[in-house]
Structure 1
Amino acid sequence: MSPVPGLELNGLHRYVSAPSNQCDHCMKPRIAVLGCGYWGSNHIRTLKSLGALAAVSDANSARAEGFASEHDCRAVAPDALFEREDVDAIVMALPPQFHAEYAQRAAAAGKDMLVEKPIALTVDDAEKSVAAAHEAGTIFMVGHVLRFHPAFEKLKSLIDQGELGEVRYIHSHRLGLGKFHTENDALWDLAPHDLSMILAITGSAPVEVRGEGAALLDNLSDFAHLHMRFANGLRSHLFTSRLNPYRERRLTVVGDKAMAVFDDVEPWGRKLAVYRHAVWQDSGQWAFTTNEPTYVPVEDGMPLTRELEHFISCIETRQKPRTTGEEAIDVLRILTAGTISHN
């Protein structure tokens, strides 16, 4: 598809929708996936289903060729990807130590990008990547996919509408067995999703972060706790583990009117529960009553599909992504402050 007349940013042609007499497929931005590993393959399949997959790229050329053949698209070497005029945007699903370098190359080439978490291994590298994208006028979106989960979207709506009252405490547990990475410990691999959700609820970064970790297999934490304090007095804790015998994916929000639990292990009809327990003082003693949970109806939908639909919309409209680079920098600051060395 040849570029259509559109917006010029810093001398670079930016994609906008084609005239309405063109087919829907032709109107889609042309997106490449850089990194054909486990999560990259999910991006590939989803973008193909959305009609927006233009190319795949991987340091392992045979792997890229296999995906290209399966999904009827081009296989492009990583170093050649950024100069392709038939690629409007890039999804980066690489080992995190490579994200900053390639994000800055994408910005220099005028490509919009969705960078998987974590977007870098240092705050400095993350800041350079985000600044490069802003200077180039390109979209920089972060792969905090649970922000697009229908249950979390509904939870956030309930909080914004005051259904829980003033939020006082948030705790998140993300536990399971594996995956084991050579660069990322349990904190850096698992916590970004939950930190993104916590920051979306609080609307600000914590003023105090304290971390605890335990390394059983090597010098990387297999268990990690983060304790956070926010300026308004709200407290939060996060627990991650990659050496747990059962899966737990639970975010709990405690307000002064009600409590809510987003449990992603539960079936769709039970993913979001609201508890309207009552606690009060009676003659100087605390008393309480418990109530059965109310399960809030949640629209069925795949978070990754919704995330990539949002990315496509941002490319087309130039709107600011829901998951910004600035938010990812805040997540990295928290991870850095909470990291425990086991060397």
Structure 2
Amino acid sequence: MKPRIAVLGCGYWGSNHIRTLKGLGALHAVSDANRARAEGFASEQGCLAIDPDALFEREDIDGIVMALPPQFHADLAIRAVEAGKDVLVEKPIALTVADGERAVEAARRNRRVFMVGHVLRYHPAFEKLKELIDAGELGDVKYIHSHRLGLGKFHTENDALWDLAPHDLSMILAITGVAPVEVRGEGAALLDHLSDFAHVHLRFPNGVRGHLFASRLNPYRERRLTVVGTKAMAVLDDVEPWQRKLALYRHAVWQDSGQWAFTTNEPTYVDIEQGMPLTRELEHFLHCMETRAEPRTGGEEAITVLRILTAGTVVHV
């Protein structure tokens, strides 16, 4: 019998969780402060609509997916794990490191699964990129940079950095395997008091350097992660079609008689298995619930991301 999951928060991303869990045969209930919205999804998907205040004590619910404005995540996650529910909390799991630590510690204390929705860690192209890195195909990784740009969405509580960068930080942390020792950030609020773009520079103890650029006020869409190694470079471009999402560049750079020289090569496009990252993420959550395994994107990673976001938050109005 599959775990019985309730989705708390029936907004844009919560609706994706609802439909995906229905397809996986694990959707049991939906819940939202807007009762009419929850009832609409319940009717559409053939599940229960439960008021948020009644959700946590229901014995017929094994886990809760939380897709709420981030200022509500920590307290409700604590309430859920203390009621014996496993949780998948969308990013960011809180707006302060202290609140994130409270939620993760509560899950640990109550022996509950705590997973964060860093969905791109479950992207087949990223999984393949990580496989190539671990196999030494890129040599020693020296530099990672990511661009996540577009127009919108605009939130009232979290800015471009906190809304967009967790995806890229999660992937960068998976590649480096360690937390950064230095974080420098710069952002600007162009519309109101929340930054609309942000640059974050990272230095890691193993010598790797990283940089990310996130913007919600950009005329074109870009979703690109680049990894530079001593043997090759790789680019994950999620805007490209599947057959071109992951490119491997076997460029060469060397010194000859004290002068630098280089050669360039056409990219090789890596075959990857097609699949929806959200489906794979939720399958992993169900697997962790059933086996009590530690999630690939667990609480400690979520806190590390919060620490980087906090350190990188510098806004010029």
TM-score band by shorter chain is over 0.9
What does residue 153 of structure 1 align with?
127
Which runs of at least 4 in structure 1 moved beyond 2 Å after TM superposition?
none
Partner of 1:304: 278
2:288 is aligned, of 295, 314, 332, to: 314
1:112 to 86, 104, 108: 86
CA distance in 2, matches of 1:229, 1:219: 28
* 1:198 counterpart residue number: 172
Aligned position for 1:81: 55
Residues in 1 aligned to 2:92 and 2:252: alpha-carbon distance in whole angstroms: 39
Q: Specify the alignment match of 2:150 in structure 1.
A: 176
Amino acid at match of 1:321: P
Paired residues of 1:270 and 1:296 also in contact (CA < 8 A): yes
**Could you tell me how far 1:283 is from its partner in structure 2?**
1.4
Q: Give the match for residue 165 of structure 1.
A: 139
Aligned partners of 1:85, 1:223: CA distance in 2, in Å? 44
DSSP 3-state at the match of 1:252: strand
**CA distance, structure 2, for counterparts of residue 98 and residue 342 of structure 1:** 27
Q: Determine which of 64, 67, 89 is the counterpart of 1:93.
A: 67
The alignment covers a number of residue pairs equal to: 317
**1:268-283 superposed matches below 5 A:** 268-283=242-257
3-state SS, counterpart of residue 212 of structure 1 = strand
From the CA coordinates, give the structure whose radius of gyration is larger: 1
Identity %: 82
Distance in 1, matches of 2:212 and 2:133, equals 19
**Helix, strand or coil for the counterpart of 2:273?**
coil
Q: 1:66, 1:268 → 2: CA distance?
A: 34
Q: Deviations over 1:226-262 (max 9, x none)?
A: 0000011110000000111110000000000000000
- 1:286 match: 260
AA in 2 matched with 1:60: N
Distance, in Å, in 1 between the alignment partners of 2:292 and 2:181 is 32
Q: With the length of structure 2 as denominator, give the TM-score of the two structures.
A: 0.99
Q: Following TM superposition, by how much is the alpha carbon of 1:215 offset from its aligned partner in structure 2, in angstroms?
A: 1.2
1:33 aligns with 2:7: yes
Whether contact under 8 Å (1:139, 1:315) holds in the other structure is yes
Which structure 1 segments of 5+ residues have no match? 1-26
Q: Tell me the alpha carbon deviations over residues 23-61 of structure 1, each in whole angstroms, 9 at most, x when there is no partner.
A: xxxx11000000000000000000000000000000000
2:50 alignment partner AA: V
Match of 1:218 in 2: 192
Q: Which amino acid aligns with 2:230?
A: D
Cα pair 1:173 1:240 within 8 Å, conserved:
yes
SS of the residue 1:225 aligns to: strand
State the shift of 1:341 in Å.
3.6
Would you say the 8 A contact 1:215–1:223 is kept in 2?
A: yes
TM-score normalised by length of structure 1: 0.92
CA RMSD of aligned residues (A): 0.6
Q: CA deviation at 1:336?
A: 0.1
Q: CA deviation at 1:284?
A: 1.0
Determine helix, strand or coil for the equivalent of 1:80. helix
1:282 Cα shift? 1.1
Which of 22, 28, 31 in structure 2 is aligned with 1:57?
Answer: 31
Q: Distance in 2 between the 1:341 and 1:178 partners?
A: 18
* Unaligned stretches of 5+ residues in structure 2: none
Q: CA deviation at 1:169?
A: 0.2
Matched, 1:189 2:163: yes
Output the CA distance in 2 between the equivalents of 1:94 and 1:336. Answer: 20
